[in-house]
């Protein structure tokens, strides 16, 4: 996964209202999420660690096999460059251009 552009919004990936749209559904959503997370680095290129928190935030989507309702995947990241852990939100149901969240960098 190529991450080359910084997000324009400070809430991108950090808020349920602005998740990373990795798409892929149940077949590829998990793999795309891990590709994205494995590309992220701290503000100065430090490695990050991540763990899955769970799901949240039901929303309507025509792309869900569950009666038109989807859930977001939530991961927590830590890095030596971060002052506190941060939560990132992922949408497996919609594809979209992905960006580097503000305060982080990426390696491809």
pLDDT single digits (tens) 43-102 = 999 999 999 999 999 999 999 888 899 999 999 999 987 889 999 999 999 999 999 999
Structure-token match 């990795």, residue found: 22
Please name every residue paired with 105 in a beta bridge, in sequence order, or none if there are none. Answer: 41
- Give the model's pLDDT for residue 1: 74
pTM of the model: 0.94
Residues 6+ apart with CB under 8 A from 105: 40, 41, 42, 43, 44, 45
Lowest mean pLDDT among 1-5, 39-43, 98-102: 1-5
What are the boundaries of each domain within the chain?
A: 20-106
For the chain, state the CA radius of gyration: 13
The gap between the terminal CA atoms of the chain, to the nearest Å, is 7
Residue 87, helix vs strand vs coil: strand
Question: Is residue 108 pLDDT above 80, yes or no?
Answer: no
- Give the model's pLDDT for residue 94: 94
Q: Give the tokens for residue 96.
A: 């979209």
């Amino acid at each position: 996964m190529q991450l080359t552009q910084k997000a324009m919004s400070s809430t991108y990936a950090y808020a349920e209202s602005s998740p990373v749209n990795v798409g892929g559904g149940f077949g590829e959503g998990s793999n795309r999420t891990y590709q994205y997370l494995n590309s992220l680095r701290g503000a100065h290129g430090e490695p990050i660690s991540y763990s899955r928190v769970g799901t949240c935030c039901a929303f309507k989507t025509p792309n869900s096999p569950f009666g038109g309702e989807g859930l977001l995947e939530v991961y927590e990241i830590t890095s030596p460059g971060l002052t506190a852990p941060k939560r990132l939100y992922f949408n497996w149901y919609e594809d979209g251009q992905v960006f580097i969240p503000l305060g982080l960098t990426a390696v491809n």
